Structure 1
Amino acid sequence: MKDIDKALNVEARSGLPDDLLALLRKFPRDQWANDPSLHGLAEGWLQRHDLFRELSVLIGGMTTDLREGRTSPAAFPPLFQRRMGLLLGELDGHHRVEDEYYFPSFAAAAPKLQKGFDILDNDHAVIHGAIDRLGTASRELIAALSGEVSGRDGDALRVAERIAGEIEGFDRTLLRHLWDEEDLIIPLILERTRDDPEFG
């Protein structure tokens, strides 16, 4: 974890500092879809982030349906476990590749953005702490639901309420991180691939 200003922590900030957004002003979001360089790495990055967003929304919706009685305790666990396992596993793998390869190589190519990569690196540490908490809460929920299905008092509603809070906080943190990461990295890729199509 990098040492960054507390105001730049992913759970506190509302966006990246202005001094890191010069390339975003040159390559604004509303023009990305029409940029001829938006293929390969940049397009794959955005698709991966969209998968994370989609899974996060689906999981939150499933948990709400369970709490409000639209999904039975017996039907909930299999799909929930698959989706949660996919989200947390894919996030972990994605972050490992970023931390070990992409962030160092991008920072070397654009030293002025080093502070941004330090911020993103710190985000990963925060998110992985949240992943651990979410994984623990998920296992507790499945155990409680198992008790309810088998006739034991698993207090599933109480656990579902708690995991709903964990998911809501996780979503806010994850979405802030994904948005800021895109603001820093996609414009950098778009700029660099004009000069070097193999960049990244």
Structure 2
Amino acid sequence: MTDSADLDSRAGLPGELRFLLEQHPRDTWETHDNLGGLMQFWLSRHDGFRTLGETLSQALESFREGEIAAERFGGFLAPRLQHFLGELHHHHMIEDRHYFPVFMAAETRLVRGFEILEGDHELIHERIGTVVTRANELLGLLGDGDRDRIRRAADHYAADSDRLISGLMRHLEDEEDLIVPLVLERGEAELGVG
């Protein structure tokens, strides 16, 4: 991948992929006639990932600061992280298998953008595997009372979790910047997704 496509260093999609966004900037989306039910649902899913990602990050920070006891943190983290990662995996599968091919066929000038997003999905899913491993290590130590080992495990988990979530936030924004303007331009029905 080039620097402009690298999930961790890019500040948005390359300029040549933003031509529809320039015609349909974010502040016009909510009131646009072509913002149909599918796009509203899809954007709400993205907002849900943002919210839950922030919730998980805040809980981890509170645990690391000693504001949440180990047992309470473990009981909070495990089901929410499992839900977050499972939903994210399912969401990306639907995009990769169903929506991205439709959008690429509809606007070939955006194919490179969808290739970037598909690359993001691969990287995000590699990071999911790492986060699961680190979370299991941390959760397995919470009951043993060894504060140094727990702290080290929490530090490792935090680094990998932060990397996953920060990359995901960049990806969600770029994905919206590519897809929503295309849908607003053509309409869900014309694209065959409404």
Aligned positions, number? 194
Q: Are 2:97 and 1:103 equivalent residues in the alignment?
A: no
1:171 and 1:194 map into 2 onto residues whose CA distance is: 29
Deviation at 1:194, TM superposition (A): 7.2
Matches within 5 A, 1:1-200: 4-148=1-145, 155-193=149-187, 196=190, 198-199=192-193
In the superposition, relative to structure 1, how do residues 153 and 37 fare at CA in structure 2: closer, same or farther (>3 Å)?
Answer: same
Mapped contact 1:77–1:142 kept (Cα < 8 A): yes
Mapped contact 1:145–1:154 kept (Cα < 8 A): no
Mapped contact 1:10–1:123 kept (Cα < 8 A): yes
Look up the SS of the partner of 2:97 in the other structure. Answer: helix
In the superposition, relative to structure 1, how do residues 73 and 112 fare at CA in structure 2: closer, same or farther (>3 Å)?
Answer: same
TM-score, normalized by length of structure 1?
0.91
Instruction: Give the stretch that moved more between structures: 102-111 or 7-16.
Output: 7-16
1:18 and 1:88 map into 2 onto residues whose CA distance is: 31
Gapped runs of 5+ residues in structure 1?
Answer: none
Mapped contact 2:35–2:187 kept (Cα < 8 A): no
Q: Tell me the C-alpha RMSD between the 2 structures.
A: 1.7
Name the amino acid aligned to 2:102: S
TM-score, normalized by length of structure 2?
0.94
Identical pairs, percent: 38
In the superposition, relative to structure 1, how do residues 40 and 197 fare at CA in structure 2: closer, same or farther (>3 Å)?
Answer: farther
In the superposition, relative to structure 1, how do residues 190 and 20 fare at CA in structure 2: closer, same or farther (>3 Å)?
Answer: same
